[in-house]
Amino acid sequence: MSTSKLFRKLVDNAGVLKRLLLLSRLRHKYEGLGPGSVVKYLNYRIRITDGLSFYVQCKDEFVHRIYHFEAQRPDPLIIDGGSNIGMSILYFKNVYPEARVIGFEPDPNIFGLLKENITRNKLEHVTLINAGLGAESGTTSFIKDDSAGGQFGQGENSITVKVECLSKWLSEPVDFLKLNIEGEELPVLMEAAASGKLDNVRELALEYHGWANGEQRLGDILKLLDNAGFRYVIHDFDYETGHATKPPFKLTPSTIWFALVYAKRFRS
């Protein structure tokens, strides 16, 4: 191995070790905090649902930067589907203070925390919508979990929430679309593509949810993105968030797994 390659490998290894130490400190600091705690992170003060969910969001969104993108203007327009308590919005505004963000969160209790966190941190140019994104506008049943995993459907904790179509919000060029909407990615993208307005999205990141015994939709999502003129890459999270995708594989009918799909449109 050449001296330059050895040096580069040592630098890379040092960076990995530094990140692991940071994550260890973050987990120790936050994972045991109770529901409704107010925490300080960077220059933000944030009311959380629970310590473990906050740690995972902090790890994925601020340390691993899973929703990062390179904006072409100082005030990019960002649509944030599935804002939860607002960690993704805080990240976007930390990187692009002048960004215009439209955030969607269907759970009224979580929406209250989201609104509180945006207001407490005095973030401007942020529009919050107490609704989920879906294939049709209206209302639907939603199974809440008082954390970060609520989803459309009927169950013991189901409530009625408002639903809006993504196309309604794509009337102008959108610099970045983020979707973490617990399995509704395909119908939301299909509606936007059918309207012709998905063409206004420059790039996007979505979290694909592989539910146990659920319909396998990843292939359809990738085909839709390809037909819409996007180039895409796929990533499977780190071991903490995506252990089911790490070898040796132990796929069973009850396996739940997640993946990130990042897509970008290259216009001539």
Tens of pLDDT along 1-46? 666 665 566 456 566 888 889 899 999 999 999 999 999 999 999 9
CA atoms within 13 A on the CB side of 240: 13
DSSP string, 30-69: HTTPPTT-EEEETTEEEE-S-HHHHHHHIIIIIIS-TT--
Query: In order of start, what are the domains of the chain with their CATH numbers?
Result: 52-265 (3.40.50.150)
User: How confident is the model over 112-137, as pLDDT tens digits?
Assistant: 999 999 999 999 999 999 999 999 99
What whole-number distance in Å separates Cα of residue 58 and Cα of residue 36?
16
Query: How far, in Å, are 25, 48, 77, 99, 103 from residue 31 at the CA level?
Result: 10, 11, 32, 30, 25
pLDDT band at 214 (very low <50, low <70, confident <90, very high): confident
* Of 158, 168, 80, nearest in space to 126 by CA: 80
Mean pLDDT along residues 140-160: 90
pLDDT over 90 for what percent of the chain?
82
- What pLDDT is attached to residue 235? 95
- What pLDDT is attached to residue 127? 98
pLDDT band at 228 (very low <50, low <70, confident <90, very high): very high
CA atoms within 13 A on the CB side of 103: 31
**pTM, two decimal places:** 0.92
The rounded radius of gyration (Å) of the Cα atoms in the chain is 19
* Of 53, 52, 64, nearest in space to 22 by CA: 64
Q: Which 8-state DSSP code applies to residue 153?
A: S
- What pLDDT is attached to residue 16? 80
